[in-house]
């Protein structure tokens, strides 16, 4: 069991026993670790203690981030930004396949693909000469199932496996918010309808640690009645984490479903919010120290 699986196990356990208010000892037992090792592992993964991480996933905290995300999205769209700029931790250039390229299924396209660990489990990444074309978390079907899904997406392409390149890409993609580590610009090459591309580009403007609702996105795109269509576009996202569909939740603050497992969505949201909260707390402490 890797670190993410232990964290996911902890979140599932809390879902089932939240009314019992399980303490550190009980959570550690569920993860198969001593309290000391569990606390150290969880804090290293989340950037904060288990208690603080779970506080980031409470309804009140999530609603606050939802309001913040709505204002950020409105500001960026009102400014007429054509790309994510520096608002997003990942500076992503999103290029769309032409209708002819979509119809051909990738004829003449060479895709390098492979597997890598990430803070949220094993991932499969595919990359063309024009950018990353696929990122998915490995699920119950295992690596074979994940590879087959990639081949179905680009049935006429030629594939070459290179785990070394994919591990480098994963290192550039999964950067902890507020870590101070500079992000590398990423290029993405995706198949999508014009509306899907609108939604995905809007998502690229939502920064880590902020959340938006389906309705907020539809209103920002001047299509207030299209919340359900936005949900479909979010569900068709071919680039997990890069296009941050995990930051889209319901107006009520309920986190909702996620095509790569709702538990993983909660882990992502908690990881981003808690990392930024820890960074801001540290920055505030340093300012106070300087003032003194």
Active site residues: 245
For residues 77, 80, 239 and 258, what is the CA-based torsion angle, rounded to 10 degrees?
10
Q: Angle of helix 24-31 relative to helix 35-46, nearest 10 degrees? A: 90
Closest by CA to 106, choosing from 56, 158, 45, 156, is 156
Instruction: Give buried/exposed letters for 94-108 (b at 16+ CB in 10 A, else e).
Output: bebbeeebeebebee
Instruction: Give buried/exposed letters for 148-186 (b at 16+ CB in 10 A, else e).
Output: eebbebbeebeeeeeeebbbebbeebbbbbbeeeebeeb
Identify the DSSP state of 239: B
Residue 257, both tokens: 């479903």
Closest by CA to 109, choosing from 137, 133, 85, 80, is 133
The 10 Å Cβ neighbour count of residue 2 is: 12
Alpha helices in the chain (DSSP H): 3-17, 24-31, 35-46, 50-55, 59-78, 99-104, 142-153, 163-173, 194-203, 214-220, 227-235, 262-291
CA-based Rg of the chain, rounded to a whole angstrom? 20
């Amino acid at each position: 069991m890797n670190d993410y699986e232990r964290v996911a196990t902890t979140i599932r356990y809390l879902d089932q026993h939240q009314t019992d208010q399980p303490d550190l000892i009980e959570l550690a037992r569920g993860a198969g670790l001593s309290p000391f090792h569990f606390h150290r592992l969880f804090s290293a993964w989340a950037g904060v203690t288990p208690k603080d991480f779970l506080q980031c996933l409470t309804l009140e905290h999530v609603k606050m981030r939802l309001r913040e995300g709505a204002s950020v999205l409105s500001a960026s769209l009102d400014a007429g930004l054509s790309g994510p700029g520096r608002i997003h931790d990942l500076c992503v250039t999103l290029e769309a396949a032409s209708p002819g390229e979509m119809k051909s299924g990738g004829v003449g396209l060479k895709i390098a693909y492979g597997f890598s660990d990430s803070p949220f489990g094993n991932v499969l990444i595919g990359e063309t000469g024009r950018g990353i074309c696929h990122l998915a978390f490995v699920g119950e079907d295992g690596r074979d199932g994940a590879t087959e899904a990639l081949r179905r997406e680009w049935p006429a392409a030629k594939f070459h496996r290179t785990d070394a390149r994919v591990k480098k890409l994963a290192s550039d993609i999964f950067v902890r918010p507020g870590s101070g580590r500079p992000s590398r610009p990423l290029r993405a090459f995706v198949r999508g309808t014009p509306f899907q591309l609108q939604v995905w580009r809007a998502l690229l403007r939502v920064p880590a640690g902020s959340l938006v609702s389906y309705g907020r996105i539809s209103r920002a795109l001047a299509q207030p009645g299209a919340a359900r269509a936005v949900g479909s576009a979010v569900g068709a996202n071919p680039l997990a984490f890069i296009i941050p569909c995990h930051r889209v939740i319901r107006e009520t603050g309920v986190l909702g479903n996620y095509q790569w497992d709702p538990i993983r969505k909660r882990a992502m949201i908690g990881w981003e919010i808690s990392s930024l909260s820890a960074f801001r707390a540290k920055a505030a402490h340093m300012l106070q120290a300087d003032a003194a």
